[in-house]
Amino acid sequence: MKEVLAEKLRVGSTVFVALCALTAVEWFAARWPGALLWLAVIAAAKAALIAEYFMHSSQLLGEEGS
């Protein structure tokens, strides 16, 4: 139980670092040509990371009770 928990918390931290990195990239992307597109892509990537790792979206695909 303890190790599983520690492992999961580590995953969370990794995702958080990735989110911070993407946010940093956003700052520069705002000045690239085609900024709107880049920003949209980065935001979508951040949203996908949160949805999958923090919100466990794939729970919905998995098996369940009934």
Q: Which residues bind another protein (CB under 8 A)?
A: 1-2, 4-5, 8-9, 12-13, 15-16, 19-20, 23, 26-27, 29-30, 35-36, 39, 42-43, 46-47, 50-51, 53-55, 57, 59-60, 64-66
Least distance in angstroms from the C-beta of 35 to another protein: 6
Q: Which is nearer to another protein, 1 or 33 (CB)?
A: 1
30 closest CA partner among 16, 44, 42, 17: 42
